[in-house]
Structure 1
Amino acid sequence: MSEILSVLALVGFSAATLWLLARPSARMSALMPTPWMLTVAAGATALWCAPLALFGPGSSQAMVAQALRDLAMLGWLSTTFWSSGAPMSRPLRLILRMLVTICLLTLVLGAAAHWRAGAAAAPWMTPTMTFAAMIVATGGLLIVDSGVRHASAGLRTPVMAVAGGFAMLWAYELNVQLIGALTGKSASTLIQLLPAVVLLMLPTYIVAAMDIGRERMQLSRTAAMRTLILLGAAAYLVVIGLTGAIARLIGGDYAELAQAASLVVALGTGGLLIVSARVRAWLSVMITKHLFEHRYDYRTEWMRFTATLGHGANGDGGEDDRNLHRRVAKALAELTGSPGALLMLPGAGGSFRVAEQWHWPIDAEAEDATLSLRSAFMLQETRHIVDLDAERRGKSAQNAADDNLAIPDWLIADTRAWVVVPILHFQRMIAVAVLHRPAVSRALDWEDLDVLRIAGQQAASYLAESQSQEALSEARRFDEFNRRFAFIMHDIKNLASQIGLLARNAERHADKPDFRADMVETLKISAGRLSDLLVRLAPRARGPAAEAGRVLIEPILNEIAAEALPRRALFVGCQAGLSAWGDAGSIRQIVQHLVANAIDASDVGIPVQVVAVAEHGRARIDVIDQGSGMTRSFIRDELFKPFVSTKDGGFGLGAFEALQIAQAMGGAIDVESEPGRGSSFTLWLPLADARSDAKLMKAVMR
């Protein structure tokens, strides 16, 4: 059987040598730096297979040919790993020179001994060659291991395959020789199987000859994990076997004790891995850290991330799958191994509030569960992924009253919060994700930051598309709303006809007291109906960019108070000389709407206050009432949405348009309210002095 395998190996390597010679040198050079040395190695292996077939494995003739084979293999390793792209350390260079010298001496001495002694070799020859072969095999394994580790980034599949084939052959030969040296007996069975191992090495040359796999070869994480499990199981069996052997040597009942202890340890380890998420997370971190070049398996993670984001599109999932905001939080959390996540969305005043959570229960109604305008602006401008542990270390070294930190105190205080990820879409932040600390906490590195940044951009595209769909739906509702104005125009036409008829009748019946009384009553009713229609049809959208300028606030408030006097007395307080940057008509329209809502919400005789001051570089106008108030959920979800109103017959457009106008002028509207205790609407506008100073600074810089 050994002779047949040797002949097959001889034929196979001879064919591989001819195939490599026939391959274009340019094509082979693209795979490895010295393709001609691979051809030499294949030819030397074919020459070695000849004495294997003629004289058998383990013969002195085969040992002499083996020295020639090892010399060719070392030459290929030298030209592959001893280069600028894969430098070899100085100790390995010395080892390589020593191995080449041993191979040459073995080749020369073996050939000379056979030439002088004929077919029968000297008695000392086989042990000497065996010892030399052991040294060469050990050194060759060291060179392969070091070369692959230090140059793995630049190696391709053919190079890795050939180097692995060399390592397999040397490892097998070293194992056979060590068994013989330790036992004092020749491992004849293993020696006879040597041609079979040589045949297993042949596919590596075929991989190189067929130009298979230009890309870098590496195990997938699944294959690596399964290999580790198999190795662990094998190690466990080896330990059990050694324990049993030692127990048998010692005697007594130690064998059963050893078996019981091993079983307890195995069951305890397995149970700990099943029950404890922290242990599983720790094991995953250790495996990733020490066995893989990168923390993330990008292909697998990206497929899972994309599948999580798009899972709700099928419409066949549960409530979590249909909620895009929750899917975004879940996808980002699973990417980093976080057990939970929060997703914050922009509110009415520009600040961000917790809108959704995944496995992280939190009181979204809490006042402090927000991200301020300043914090949101800083995150948007810097696009910085915040490591909250680093922020906590920095905050502990500063004054607690220092307000230069953008991250709110409630996030700093909650040690579960680990990372803050801004979700940006074309330089505009549309959401903020807060990730829960993993079971095994670790510091963020460059790979985490890159993955979270790219994942945030992809999640932003999904959120932006969802917002576009909502905007399109609202636009369609506006379209439908505009069509309803045909009925209003019909009412105006009826009023015009009624007034025209009244005017014509007045020419004939103006002298009758009854007619004059009816005419006055009709005119009052018609005027009231026209006023209502005009209020409903009044244009609210303006172009603040074209009309922006310095606007004094106090005159506007006084005029609004005078107009509202027939309905309610206003208490107006304004800082002297306060001026905002915007459009006077737009500011008047916003304040009028807020005052009208405050009057409607208050009982008769209850005053309404309007206060204007400068605060934090902005103009602040507060409209305060003591009316019925609103719930927090209504303020967050419905107040500033179109077509939602608490008034009977209201269209729900006033607050929505007021906010749009304020934001167009660079301002915002904040609301504080409690049911039964009134409401406070705050209009924030750019301060005219601050805007003028900024424009002056830009002009100077130009």
Structure 2
Amino acid sequence: MLARLSEILSVLALVGFAVATLWLIARPRARMAALMPAPRMLTLVAAATAVWCAALALAGPGSSAALVVQGLRDLAMLGWLGATFWSPAAPMTRPLRLIVRMLATICALTLVLGAVAHLADRTAAEAWMAPTLTLAAMVVAIGGLLIVDSGVRHAGAALRMPVMAVAGGFAMLWAYEVNVQLIGALTGKTASTLIALLPAVVLLTLPTYVVAAMDIGRERMRLSRTAATRTLILIGGAAYLIVIGLTGAIARLVGGDYAAFAQGASLVVALGAGGLLIVSARVRAWLSVVISKHFFEHRYDYRAEWMRFTATLAQGGDVEDGDGRNLHRRVAKAMAELTGSPGALLMLPGAAGAFRVAEHWHWPVDAEAEDATLSVRSAFMLQETRHIVELDAERRSGQGGPESRDLAIPAWLIADQRAWVIVPILHFQKMIAVAILQRPPVSRALDWEDLDVLRIAGQQAASYLAESQSQEALSEARRFDEFNRRFAFIMHDIKNLASQIGLLARNAERHADNPEFRADMTQTLKVSAGRLSDLLVRLAPRERGAAAEPSKLLIEPILAEIADEMRARRALFVGCQTGLLAWADAASVRQIVQHLVTNAIDASAPDTPVQLVAVAEHGRVRIDVIDQGCGMTRSFIREELFKPFVSTKDGGFGLGAFEALQVAQAMGGTIEVDSEPGKGSSFTVWLPLADARADSGGEPMMKKVVAK
């Protein structure tokens, strides 16, 4: 059954490699040459492998005839490796060249001598040639693995995916053959099952030729660190099992009770090593450094590290032992995790220019201590040089006195052996923070890759810190802007009060003896004093705004009060619907209407009336202020009327209309204007209606107020 399966697999492999050979011949040479250095040699390898598969199908795996033809296959494979790795793009070392020549000689001798022996006496060849051919095949396979490993490592970035795929296929086939022959040598028995499954392994290498012939893989083929780490773990487990098996085999050969002891000792050592990896952070760090140094081209997995770094900076939830909203702690944590440091400090500039510890991650430091600072000179030197300082080098150079002379490193950092690296965080050539990283469990010297990563990470962190500082400055500027805006509005109201009091003073010179005028003057002064007190309250920071607490508001009393206040300047014709209720704030409505009435009086001739009418309309409260003054153009209303600091009055602030509109909108209302030059203006204030039943209230009541 197994022999039949092996025969079927051999036939399938023969057909597959024959088709692959024809496909490689049909592919354009220029396109193939763009993917790999030796496309013709790859075609010869596919053809030789097809001939070897034919030998497997006819004579069977493990036969001397198959081993002889295997020499032809190995010779072609060595030729492709030599042409690929013996080139300017992937230079081959001198020892590898000698190994290639030696292995090619062995393959050629095996092929010639085996062919002659089979032609002379096939039976005798099967008897004495099989061990020789097996030994030669093992030597060639081991040498081929060395060439693939060394060639791939020395070629570096020059290799592309097709080359890596084909070399990997060769390595897989040779590794399987070495294992089969090694098992046979150790056990003294032929591994017939594994030999019979050799055609299946050959079929697994066929896709590498397809990859090599297609227009794909113009980039290097890279394994992710996760896949590489898991592969190393599997290889380690396999190596452990092999060691256990070899130990048991040697113990059985020696005799006695050493087999059980050897297996038990191996198990104890394995469990101890595993426990040490789990418990000791230092051992894990050392293993990580060794793996990164010897198994990967770069120390860092840049994609994974950058994603983790950005996620740490951007996260808004809780971080370990700290609030995730604390950006300074997140920056310290992100910088530390890049280099495997167990802790970090972040220093920010103080008022005097010196940098102080603002936040820490797993490195508690007394931030109030006088010596926990970075002087102005130190900060200036770091900013100018943009130098990432390795403190161990400073200590070794003997400059750890009161201060390091070149970079002015503080003595407290030199003395603290936990301090490892100082990273200036620069934003547009200005140092906005300094990160101090704690020594990792396995200390090492910084190389160019560490410096590049820390420098780029510092720039990224600087952008987050600069944005945060900009947001804080913007928030503070907004608070100042709010205060200035409130003060500007109040100045506008003070100007109106000053004008009113000034008018009252001028009239007092002429009407001081009139008792009715004195009564009106007293009332006006009381109202002005009250409005000044209200303005001071509005200026206070605790004041939330004009429409902070809206409620049901009767409109008629407010209009009557305004008419009484304006009697000294002009007679107002007031009409208000009885019981009209608005959902608004009384002070805000009074402020809006007073401003509009004042503007209407200023824009009108002394003998023209000003009307003040309030009704409920379309489910809202409508308050009209109508004058017969100079009027305004439509372009002025559209472009300038409600803009701040634009005024047509001499000495005006240009804030009255803007403030009135802002206050009305804050209460859910608005202001509309209808005006025509030379015919007057009508300002309409719309406010929310508190009670819709007010529509059916009484008829509007009109009353005339005449100034005395």
For Structure 1 versus Structure 2, the TM-score category normalised by the shorter chain is: 0.5 to 0.7
- 1:328 aligned residue (315, 326, 331): 331
Between 1:235-244 and 1:383-392, the stretch displaced more is 235-244
The residue correspondences of 1:147-166 to structure 2 (distance < 5 A) are 147-166=151-170
Distance in structure 2 (CA, Å) of the matches to 1:315 and 1:482: 38
Distance in structure 1 (CA, Å) of the matches to 2:117 and 2:280: 67
Between 1:57-66 and 1:500-509, the stretch displaced more is 500-509
- 2:383 aligned residue (380, 384, 387): 380
- Aligned with 2:364: secondary structure? coil
Q: Any idea what the Cα deviations from partners look like across 1:596-625, whole Å, max 9, x if unmatched?
A: xxxxxxxxxxxxxxxxxxxxxxxxxxxxxx
Q: Any idea what the Cα deviations from partners look like across 1:23-75, whole Å, max 9, x if unmatched?
A: 22222212111111101110111111112212222334323322222221121
Question: Given residue 28 of structure 1, which amino acid in structure 2 is its aligned partner?
Answer: M
In structure 2, the gaps of 5 or more residues are 513-528, 540-708
Question: Given residue 282 of structure 1, which amino acid in structure 2 is its aligned partner?
Answer: W
Residue 179 of structure 1 and its aligned partner are, at CA, apart by 4.9
> CA distance change for structure 1 residues 347 and 9 in 2, over 3 Å: closer, same or farther?
same
- Aligned with 2:346: secondary structure? strand
> CA distance change for structure 1 residues 131 and 214 in 2, over 3 Å: closer, same or farther?
same
- Matched residue, 1:424: 426
> CA distance change for structure 1 residues 365 and 81 in 2, over 3 Å: closer, same or farther?
same
> CA distance change for structure 1 residues 448 and 185 in 2, over 3 Å: closer, same or farther?
closer
Q: Is contact 1:423–1:457 with CA below 8 Å preserved after alignment?
A: yes
Question: Given residue 446 of structure 2, which amino acid in structure 1 is its aligned partner?
Answer: L
Residue 331 of structure 1 and its aligned partner are, at CA, apart by 0.5
- Matched residue, 1:641: none
Distance in structure 1 (CA, Å) of the matches to 2:230 and 2:71: 38
- Matched residue, 2:17: 13
Q: Is contact 2:403–2:409 with CA below 8 Å preserved after alignment?
A: no
Q: Is contact 1:41–1:76 with CA below 8 Å preserved after alignment?
A: yes
- Matched residue, 2:357: 354
> CA distance change for structure 1 residues 387 and 237 in 2, over 3 Å: closer, same or farther?
same
Residue 205 of structure 1 and its aligned partner are, at CA, apart by 1.2
Question: Given residue 158 of structure 2, which amino acid in structure 1 is its aligned partner?
Answer: G
Q: Is contact 2:10–2:54 with CA below 8 Å preserved after alignment?
A: yes
Question: Given residue 66 of structure 1, which amino acid in structure 2 is its aligned partner?
Answer: Q
- Matched residue, 2:93: 89
Residue 435 of structure 1 and its aligned partner are, at CA, apart by 1.1
- Matched residue, 2:556: none
- Matched residue, 1:589: none
Residue 451 of structure 1 and its aligned partner are, at CA, apart by 0.3
The residue correspondences of 1:405-484 to structure 2 (distance < 5 A) are 405-484=407-486
Residue 242 of structure 1 and its aligned partner are, at CA, apart by 4.7
Question: Given residue 445 of structure 2, which amino acid in structure 1 is its aligned partner?
Answer: A
- Matched residue, 1:65: 69
Q: Any idea what the Cα deviations from partners look like across 1:465-492, whole Å, max 9, x if unmatched?
A: 1122222222221221112223245446
Distance in structure 2 (CA, Å) of the matches to 1:477 and 1:45: 80
- Aligned with 1:435: secondary structure? strand
Aligned-residue RMSD, C-alpha: 3.3
> CA distance change for structure 1 residues 352 and 249 in 2, over 3 Å: closer, same or farther?
same
In structure 1, the gaps of 5 or more residues are 510-525, 537-702
- Aligned with 2:324: secondary structure? helix
When the two structures are superposed, what TM-score results if normalisation uses the length of structure 1? 0.66
Residue 298 of structure 1 and its aligned partner are, at CA, apart by 0.6
Distance in structure 2 (CA, Å) of the matches to 1:484 and 1:332: 44
Between 1:271-280 and 1:167-176, the stretch displaced more is 167-176
- Matched residue, 1:625: none
- Matched residue, 2:195: 191
> CA distance change for structure 1 residues 495 and 347 in 2, over 3 Å: closer, same or farther?
farther
Matching of residue 36 in structure 1 with residue 40 in structure 2: yes
Q: Any idea what the Cα deviations from partners look like across 1:439-478, whole Å, max 9, x if unmatched?
A: 2221111111100000010111111111222222222212
Distance in structure 1 (CA, Å) of the matches to 2:126 and 2:273: 57
Larger Rg: 2
Distance in structure 2 (CA, Å) of the matches to 1:317 and 1:185: 59
Q: Is contact 1:351–1:376 with CA below 8 Å preserved after alignment?
A: yes
Residue 271 of structure 1 and its aligned partner are, at CA, apart by 2.8
Distance in structure 1 (CA, Å) of the matches to 2:85 and 2:504: 106
- Matched residue, 1:168: 172
Q: Is contact 2:382–2:407 with CA below 8 Å preserved after alignment?
A: no
Q: Is contact 1:309–1:327 with CA below 8 Å preserved after alignment?
A: yes
Question: Given residue 327 of structure 2, which amino acid in structure 1 is its aligned partner?
Answer: L
Size of the aligned set, in residue pairs, is 512
The residue correspondences of 1:383-398 to structure 2 (distance < 5 A) are 383-394=386-397, 396-397=398-399
Q: Any idea what the Cα deviations from partners look like across 1:80-114, whole Å, max 9, x if unmatched?
A: 11111222223332332233333333333444444
Q: Any idea what the Cα deviations from partners look like across 1:612-669, whole Å, max 9, x if unmatched?
A: xxxxxxxxxxxxxxxxxxxxxxxxxxxxxxxxxxxxxxxxxxxxxxxxxxxxxxxxxx
Residue 200 of structure 1 and its aligned partner are, at CA, apart by 1.9
Q: Is contact 1:417–1:435 with CA below 8 Å preserved after alignment?
A: yes
Distance in structure 2 (CA, Å) of the matches to 1:400 and 1:89: 52
Residue 197 of structure 1 and its aligned partner are, at CA, apart by 2.0
- Matched residue, 1:265: 269
Q: Is contact 2:402–2:411 with CA below 8 Å preserved after alignment?
A: no
Between 1:465-474 and 1:253-262, the stretch displaced more is 253-262
Residue 2 of structure 1 and its aligned partner are, at CA, apart by 1.6
